[in-house]
Structures are given as structure tokens and as C-alpha cells.
Amino acid sequence: MAKRKFYPKNKKNNLKKFKKENKAKKVEVVFFREGMNVSDLASAMNVSNALIIKKLMNMGMMTSINEVIDRDTIELICLEEGVELQDEVITDVSRYDEMDFEEDPENLVLRPPIVTIMGHVDHGKTTLLDTIRNTKVAEGEAGGITQHIGAYQIDFENKKITFIDTPGHAAFTEMRARGAKVTDIVVLVVAADDGVMPQTKEAIDHAKSADVPLIVAINKIDRPGAKVEKIMSELSEKGLTPEEWGGDTPFVKISALKNENIEALLEMIILISEVRELKANPNKKARGNVIEARLDKGRGPLATMIVENGTLSVGDFIAVGNTYGKIRIMNNHLGEIIKKAEPSTPVEITGLNEVPYAGDKFMVFDDEKTTKQIASDRKSRMRELELKKKAKSSLDMLLGDIESSEKELNLLIKANVNGSIEALKGLLEKIDFEGFHVNIIRADVGAISENDVSLASAANAIVIGFNVRPTSNVKNLANTEGVEIRLYSIIYRVQEDIENAIKGMLKPRFEEVVIGQAEVRETYKISKIGTIAGCYVTDGVIQKNSMARVLREGLVIYEGRLGSLKRFKDDVKEVKQNLECGLSIENFNDIKVGDIIEISTQKRIEVK
């Protein structure tokens, strides 16, 4: 018996109903989170990956589903689809550094201001800080340049002020930006005998982006070439109009070296902090920022921190960036051991499992198990973000860059502090000559080890040591493995050497330069030699062994190398303008009277 077919009633209507029920519901709000890729956005908008990729292609972006998209691009896609984009509401405690903490105004008390010293290199920032806290940091700095961030606290008129000294060299732009993020007031130091320089402008931009008040300290007013009015005029063009000119930016004229008007500067800092009513709640678990971190041979990982809110105590369990630990010892800026640190207090702590990064946020938690789990979650999330970034595709990656392996200089960086590592990485990764770039295979805090040399040998890399030194065993291994170790104490010298190294690895480029012309006036046929042209040099010089181009009625009929060159019967190396000569061209005998012989040479072009 044949199987009976079943035909549902109202098949067309049922199909419409099915489609209607299964049609994707339009999303009204998308919550943005850092590291979103194409797949994440498609899922959040309840659309296909193909639709998002198509929209990105219309924007001129070739992407894959795993490529991370920036916030601006996501906002454009949402706007086009009529979807609202909002920042994600964070409830995961492991993302404490992204959370907003609300405080009851009744629990808030006044705290000391955190002041960042900024400005161009050699304008007197460190000297100013030395004068304020009456120490001599500058004398110990290599080349007179501050190499990493330090934080210090002083007492002035029974009130405390915390200072952050950020380096002024161009390589530390990112470190200077971090300094602005944790600060309440910026003191911009400008030398009266110099003027507004590139790092001065950068410091202004960082202060504005951090939305903090700025005080201009015009330093070196005691110098003979001081031009205070000119400095004030230049800064007013940058939006910093002096108060005495009707603006809202305080200007203080000082001499850090001679201790002139330093108290007036401190009084201005106190005044602005009182107007801003800087407050925090000391009666809760501490949160704050890492200013600097390093690995000490005897004490292990050390971190310099500033408490933002709450009170930090010895014995606290603390999560810092992607690491954690229990505070064993806490020292203040004078090196004294202390038990507690209230808001705006800079301290150096020991007890962390690993060296954190400058700029990492920290927070205290109840117990070791919770703290360890939070650090583990943060490390896993960071690994996922890095994998997403590595998966980012480009047209060059899709097509395949055949010569990419030949266009890299591999480096392994070891330094004494994380701040220097970040500055070096930021500086070196920007180097690019004709597509030849730097590839940093490892960048760690600590001394150069045998493992570093082994890795450098396998990767054919150069080891860069910044304020660290290898032991004799490491040096011997490096010599055996043929690994070059370069040691530095000033950062811009690293940049200069690496740039020179890359220039030396590039294939030399040559440019043709025409050096002379000669007109053929007679030709002579000589057996076993060929045609000899009797010429008159009309321009420049004719040099032996140069390249020759034969022109006939303006057309190139042959290109080759100049053979013999004679003046009368003698062989010569060159013949100058307005003189006669005889010449031959290798493998070419069809030279005729009236031809023009153009002589050129190859000039090497220096890479800039």
C-alpha cells in the first residue's frame, strides 16, 4: 500500500506564521565592552556575522569574525541600525578597575592633593622637586634625565602634598599620560630661557584630557636669557591665559635652583586643592594605582603605589593588575616602615607574587582565596584579549607577506623597572624603515639570564639590557651562542643604535645620476676591438667603467657599460667637459656620427 502524503491545511498561512515567530527580534540597546569582535557584536545585535562583515566592508574595512572592533566603529554600525550603544554595567568584582564606586558624602573627609610635575626635558622638573623635598635625586640620574616615576609627600603649613615626578623625555609620553590620570593638579614647568617645546605641548594635552587644573611654573627666571613675557604669550596661544592677563591659569615665576618663589607655588597648590575640596573615605578597603614596579634581587617584586581611597594596611590581601599578594612590608617615601597608608599617600610594598605594571589599579579583598581567584580571572581575560588582537587580520595577512621574515630585527629587552620597558617598547615598535621593523620577542624586568640568551639565540635576536648587567656566566654563554648583548642607561641611545642597526640590514638602494654627455663626431672600425667613437664632451665628465646610454635622435637605442676611454693614445680614468676623447661601448658596435653618449653612475641613497 502506497504511503499517503500529508498536506497541511493553509500551508501558505502556516509558513508566514512560522517566519514571523522565528524572525529575529530587533535589539534596542547594545552594551559595549572592551575587546568586542565581529562575532560578539553580531550576537549582541541578534544579527548574522555576515551582516556585520558586510557593513565593515562598506566602511572600507576587511575583517574576519574574530577581529576586535573599536568603540567608534561599533557606534557607527549601531547608529545605522537604529540601535542605542551604552557602556556595559560592570558587576563582576574581578573587573574592579573598570567599576564606578559610589561614596556616601557623609563618610568623605579631606585628603592631600596629588600633584604631577610635567614639562620638557631639562626644564628643571626634577630640580624643582629636589628643592621642594630637599633631596638630591637629579645627581643620581644617568645623563641628567629622569628615567622612571617617583612619588613623594611633603608637609607644608601643616598640610600634606603628594608629588609625582614624571619624566620629560619624549619616549615617556605614555608614562606621563598615566601620571595625569592619577593626579589632582598638574604643575607645568617651562624654562624661561627656552620656551614652549614639544613635550610642553604634550603635557598640556595630557592635563586637559585628564580634566585637572594646571599651574604654570616659569622656571630659571634668574638666567640672563629669561623671557618671561614671551613664555606667557606662547602659552596663552595654547589656551593657558595667565590670571594677571584676565585668564584662569595661575602662573608662578620661580627659580628652582636658587629656591625663589617656591613657597608661592606651594601656596597656590594648597589654594586650588581647598577650592576643589578633594575628599576620600579612609574607612574602607583601599583602592589605588601603581606608580612604578620593579624586581629587587633581595626583596622580590616591589611596587610603588598611591592610595586613591580607603586605607591600605600591612597584612591586606591585594589584587594588582593580573597578580596578587599579601602586604608584608610597607615603606613610605622616606623609606620608613609604616603600618597604614591613608588616601593620597605614596608607599612601596613587598609581598606580591609577580611584578605588576606601572598604571595597574589595585584593590584590597577579604581573603587570599578570593584575591587569588580574582587575579586568575583577570589573567585569563587578558589572555583572551591578546588572542583576539593576534587574530586581527589585514589584507597583507590574507595575501601573505613573503618577505616578512626578512624584514624584522628581533629584540629581547631586560630592564630594571616596568616603566622603562613600556617606554622602550613604545619607542622601538614605532621604528619603521621601508617596511623593516622591530619585533620584541620578550620584555621583562630583571637581570639578563641564561634563559634569555638561549631564547635570543633561537630567535636570532639582540639582547637589550637597560640599567641591568649580565653575570660572567651569562656573558660566556652569549659569546658561545654568538648572541649580542647591548647595555644602556639612557633611553634615546637605544633608539639611535637600533635605528642604525636596521639601516645596516636594509638592502642598499641606488639612484642613477647622469654625470656627463658626449657627441660622436667620428667612428673608427678596429679589428678584434670593434667600433671606437671619437667624441667631444659637451657636458659634465666621462668616467671609465660607468654606464653608457646611446641616444639617436632623442631615442635610446642601447644601454650598456663604457669600455675603453682614451685621450689621444693614453688610457685615462675621466675626460672633462669641452675636451675630446675616444671611447668604446661593451658589446655594441653600431655607433654612428651624431649619436649622443649619455654617461651615468649609481649613487647610494642613505636611509633616513
Q: Are residues 225 and 297 in the same domain?
A: no
Query: Does residue 363 surpass a pLDDT of 80?
Result: yes
CATH number of domain containing 369: 2.40.30.10
The pLDDT, as a whole number, for residue 399 is 35
Q: Please compute Rg for the chain using Cα positions.
A: 35
CB neighbour class for 513 (10 Å; exposed up to 12, middle 13-18, buried from 19): exposed
* 534 and 555, same domain (yes or no): yes
Rounded to whole angstroms, the Cα distance separating 536 from 560 reads 19
Same domain, 118 and 230: yes
Both 229 and 136 in one domain: the answer is yes
Question: What is the model's pLDDT at position 608?
Answer: 53
Number of domains the chain contains? 5
Q: Are 169 and 241 within one domain? A: yes
* Helices (runs of H) and strands (runs of E) counted in the chain: 15, 31
CA distance 128 to 219: 9
**Residues spanned by the domain of 80:** 19-87
Q: What amino acid is encoded at 454 in this protein? A: S
Cα–Cα dist 484/504, whole Å = 16
Give per-residue pLDDT as tens, 417-465: 888 888 888 888 877 766 677 888 888 888 898 888 888 887 788 899 9
On whether residue 10 sits in a domain, the answer given is no
* Residue tagged 619624566 (cell numbers): 167
pLDDT digits (tens, 9 = 90+) for 494-544: 888 888 777 665 556 667 888 999 999 999 888 777 889 999 999 999 998
In the predicted structure, residue 5 carries a pLDDT above the cut 50 = no
Q: For 68-124, how does the pLDDT look when each residue is reduced to its tens digit (9 = 90+)?
A: 888 888 888 888 888 888 877 676 777 777 777 777 888 899 999 999 888 887 888
Q: Residues 245, 126: one domain?
A: yes
Question: Sign of dihedral through CA atoms 402, 405, 408, 413?
Answer: positive
Cell of 218: 616659569
Place of cell 622638573: 125
pLDDT band at 189 (very low <50, low <70, confident <90, very high): very high
Q: Is residue 601 part of a domain?
A: yes
Answer yes or no: is pLDDT of 211 > 90: no
- Mean per-residue pLDDT, 228-251: 90
Confidence at 392, pLDDT banded by 50, 70, 90: very low
What are the tens digits of pLDDT across the range 115-128? Answer: 988 888 788 888 88
Query: Is 97 a domain residue?
Result: no
- Residue 215 in domain: yes
Q: Is there a single domain that holds both residue 463 and residue 585? A: no
Q: How confident is the model at residue 273 (pLDDT cuts 50, 70, 90)?
A: very high
User: How far is the C-alpha of 166 from the C-alpha of 116, rounded, in Å?
Assistant: 7
Residue 378: pLDDT above 90? no
